[in-house]
Amino acid sequence: KLKPQLVIIDSIQTLTTQDLTGASGSVGQIRETADRIINLVKPLGIPTFLVGHMTKEGTIAGPKVLEHMVDSVLELSGERTSQLRLLRALKNRFGATDEVGVFQLIDSGLVEVTNPSELFLEHQDSTVAGSATVAVMEGTRPLLVEVQALVVESQLAMPRRVGRGIELSRIQVLAAVLQKHARLPLGSTDVFVNVAGGFKITEPAVDLGLAVAIASSLKNKKLPQKSVFIGEIGLLGEIRAVSFLDKRIKEAKRLGYTQVFSRQSHTRVSEVLKALGL
Q: What is the reported pTM?
A: 0.74
67-71 contacts, C-beta under 8 A, 24 or more apart: 67/91, 69/31, 69/34, 69/35, 69/38, 70/34, 70/38
Among 82-86, 153-157, 215-219, the minimum mean pLDDT is found in: 82-86
Query: Mean pLDDT in the chain?
Result: 86
Quick check: 270 pLDDT over 90? yes
Among 82-91, 129-138, 156-165, 188-197, the minimum mean pLDDT is found in: 82-91
Of 204, 170, 192, 200, the C-alpha closest to 58 is 200
Q: Is 58 helix (H, G, I), strand (E, B) or coil?
A: coil
Question: Distance between CA 93 and CA 98 in Å, rounded?
Answer: 13
Q: What one-character-per-residue DSSP string does 104-128 give?
A: EEETTEEEE-S-HHHHHTTT--TTS
Among 1-5, 49-53, 77-81, 206-210, the minimum mean pLDDT is found in: 77-81
| Among 117-121, 139-143, 213-217, the range of highest mean pLDDT | 213-217
Domains and CATH numbers, the chain: 7-114 (3.40.50.300), 119-275 (3.30.230.10)
The string of pLDDT tens digits covering residues 155-190 is 888 899 999 889 999 999 999 999 999 999 998 999
Phi, psi of 7 (to 5 degrees): -125, 130
Compute CA distances 232 → 189, 229, 235, 242, whole Å. Answer: 23, 10, 10, 7
